[in-house]
Amino acid sequence: MFKDFWSKHENIYYALTNKKVIFGLTIVALVFMLAAFGPMLTPYEYGEYAGEGYLPPSGDHFFGTTIDGRDVFTRTVYGLRSTLLVGAIAGTVATLVGCIIGFLAGYYGGSIFDELLMMLTNIFVVIPQLALLIVIAAFLEVRGVIIMAFIVSLTAWPWTARAVRSQTLSLKNQEYVSLSRISALSVGRILREDIASNMFSYVFMVFIQQFNGTMLATVQLEFLGLGPTKGISLGLVMQNAVNWNGIQLGMWWWAIIPGLILTILITALYFVNTGLDAAFNPRLREM
């Protein structure tokens, strides 16, 4: 029974047994657990004064305190929640928009419709991403987590659309797609059942890259002072440390620990992505 299951889901087997995937998912799970359960380990709110300032990491303050006596661990775990939420929403939106445009453009490849979709995509590609994000974020006086996610996803989808289009162009000439056309199936059903279903592993890896990229873009905006106007995030924690000269004052824990957590998460997601690439691509599988 199990042998038959794994023979039908060979890619899943290779993914779950890939060392890079296992290592990366373990780290990612630990970071998500820190975001989920970290606030339960602290008696403070992220904006609450926790005591004396300039305190290094200790049993009372795991990540030390800021210059004005706020608990860095509390601000980090609450900020991590916000950063992960923005990455998840923005990554999902960018992946969906990119896939929809890519599927349609690829299926109607060579037509005027395809050219119009690719023209729109190319316009967003040539626009300086960071500059556009800065202008949009600066224009909005009130920015929440959801708004930040949609701002970032606005410029994150074009490369996904181009990549999915190229994959769709190669799949649409397959015999089973031609058979579906002859059977007079709707375009939506062909894209869903014949093309998208055969690109699930590829789209999943695209989502991981989008999740990674949108988190980094969000942190960039926050570091420039254009993050959420309410709440806290990892970018805002690091920005506050820089604004208050935390590094120069020897308060390394204020900026380095949140930045290190973000770096570890991004590195772990990179391991997951490269491991999945090796698992889903027979030419890259470890013998």
Q: What CATH number corresponds to the domain at position 248?
A: 1.10.3720.10
pLDDT level of residue 8 (50, 70, 90 thresholds): very low
Number of residues that this document lists for the chain? 287
Is 25 contained in some domain? yes
Count: domains in the chain: 1
Is 7 contained in some domain? no
Task: Supply the range of the domain harboring residue 209.
Answer: 15-284
pLDDT level of residue 76 (50, 70, 90 thresholds): very high
Please tell me the predicted confidence (pLDDT) of residue 3: 42
Is 3 contained in some domain? no
Q: How far is CA 81 from CA 35, 47, 59, 75, 133, in A?
A: 5, 15, 23, 10, 22
Is 6 contained in some domain? no
User: Residue 229: pLDDT above 80?
Assistant: no
Q: Are 269 and 212 in contact (CB under 8 A)?
A: yes
User: Residue 190: pLDDT above 80?
Assistant: yes
Q: Are 67 and 251 in contact (CB under 8 A)?
A: yes
* Owner of token pair 């974020």: 137
Please tell me the predicted confidence (pLDDT) of residue 6: 42
Please give the residue that has the higher pLDDT: either 150 or 31. 31
Q: Are 201 and 11 in contact (CB under 8 A)?
A: yes
Please tell me the predicted confidence (pLDDT) of residue 199: 85
Comparing 107-116, 133-142, 150-159, 228-237, the range with the smallest average pLDDT is: 133-142
The mean pLDDT value for 118-146 works out to 80
Is 86 contained in some domain? yes
Distance CA 57, CA 246 (A): 14
Is 89 contained in some domain? yes
Distance CA 236, CA 79 (A): 8
Q: Are 231 and 145 in contact (CB under 8 A)?
A: yes
What tokens were used for 225? 């002072």
Classify burial at 274, counting beta carbons within 10 Å of its beta carbon; exposed 0-12, middle 13-18, buried 19 or more: middle
Whole-structure pTM value:
0.85
Is 9 contained in some domain? no
Q: Are 165 and 138 in contact (CB under 8 A)?
A: no
What tokens were used for 91? 């990554």
Is 8 contained in some domain? no
Please tell me the predicted confidence (pLDDT) of residue 25: 92
For 32-66, the pLDDT digits (tens) are: 999 999 888 888 888 888 878 788 888 888 898 88
